[in-house]
Homo-oligomer: A and B are copies of this chain.
Amino acid sequence: MGFILEAAARILREDGRAALTTNLVAERAGIGIGTLYGYFPDKEATLIALARRMIDEDTAALRAALDTDDAEPLRLLVRTLLNRHRDDRALRREVMSVHLGQGLGPEHARPVAEISALLARRAPGLLGRTPPPEQMFVLTRAVLGIARALVEDGDGAEIPPDRLENEVLRLIRAYLGSA
């Protein structure tokens, strides 16, 4: 199944959403169109699976960063998140668009929310106790908003990565320290 999503991702990346037809996905995946339907019940399911895979990869990357024994785990998380949003932007944009259209937007915040919760539990000192839900919401969505802005090709691309990283960290820390 992975190779099918790979094929879909490649099409999205290289040819854009309009080119993403089930027939082309099958062809690029090297299987028959009928076979594709053995893996996914319909086109939408394929798209959703693709989006979920990207989200899962985000989660895995963040978790891996968290598991690294870094002196500044929060910084590493932020760096990881920003970097992932700098890579493969065309694909991420399309996937986000599709996902949004499908009403699955909330899932997109999952990796960040999940990892934040994990971080809060694992290193309570870092975030200063476990912040209440509304603070977690504000924090995760704020950071995610910044990461997304990198995807959407805005002015963010001009800001040097480490500078942006520093600012994001400052944002997080200032907010947490302002209780």
Contact = CB atoms under 8 A, between A and B. Distances in A.
A53 interface: no
Contacts of A106: 152-155
A34 to B, nearest CB: 12
Contacts of A133: 155, 159
Q: Interface size bucket, A side?
A: 35 or more
Copies of this chain, count: 4
Contact of A142 (B17, B105, B143): B143
A97 interface: yes
Pick from A17, A97, A138, A146 the residue with the most CB of B within 10 Å: A138
Nearest to A155: B137
A74 to B, nearest CB: 15
Nearest to A92: B100
Pick from A98, A103, A141 the residue with the most CB of B within 10 Å: A141
Interface stretch (A3-11, A60-68, A167-175): A167-175
Given A137-B156, A146-B145, A171-B142, A105 B151 contact: yes
Given A141-B145, A173-B178, 11 more contacts: A93-B103, A97-B101, A105-B151, A105-B152, A138-B146, A138-B164, A139-B171, A141-B148, A145-B145, A148-B148, A174-B178
